[in-house]
Amino acid sequence: MKPTRLKFNRRRGLTLVEVMVASILGTLVIFGGISIYLSGMENWLRGSERIVAETQSRQAVRAISDQLRQAMAVTVAGDGMSLEFRLPEEDASGNFTVPATWDGVVRRIQYNAGDETIELVEGANTRVLARNVMPADIGGTGAAYDIFTAGPGAITRQLTIKVVTQTNNDASVNALGRQRETIYLRNIPQLTR
């Protein structure tokens, strides 16, 4: 008769050390994947907020410049945070009268510090042109800036507008948008004669 051998080599299974090493490696892989996912989501949110802030700045400057391009006279306040302008009178078909004469409505574009907005005041009506406007460029120099800067000369022929907006929808994300544009006034009576 043949002697029987113990069959330890045919048993399959894992030792406690192998199970512990595998679980530690699996945990590391899962935590690595989660951290990469969270980092990607945070970067996406930051980029999305930056796009919103830049869009707000661009729309603010566009709304202001659309109003001022038609102006026949502009007076910038000493603090650079507001201005008054006059528009020429229009006839029944919407065309400006020639020679250009003031339509009699006092118009003002001003920064409202309480609401952090830029407003257009036309007589008794007030309309918001921009929201979340910052009075200081906290992402750049950190100093206060003038929203409106008149060009050189006694008659304002050009005007520079600078707007810095901020979005803060999430406490961890704070994005700034900056926009600057120089406007050349077209309807100044002293220049069209």
Task: State the virtual CA torsion across 146, 149, 152, 154 in degrees, nearest 10.
Answer: -110
Domain boundaries, the chain: 15-192
CB-side exposure of 150: number of CA atoms within 13 Å? 19
Q: How far is CA 148 from the centre of its chain?
A: 18
Q: CB of 65 within 8 A of CB of 183?
A: yes
Residues in the chain: 193
pLDDT tens for the 193 residues of the chain, in order: 666 665 555 567 778 899 999 999 999 999 999 999 999 998 998 888 889 889 989 999 999 998 888 888 889 998 999 999 988 888 888 888 877 788 888 899 999 999 889 999 998 899 999 888 988 877 667 788 899 998 887 777 889 999 999 886 655 667 888 899 999 887 777 654 4
pTM over 0.85: no
Q: Which two tokens stand for residue 188?
A: 């100044």
**Cis ω before 3 (30° cut-off from 0):** no
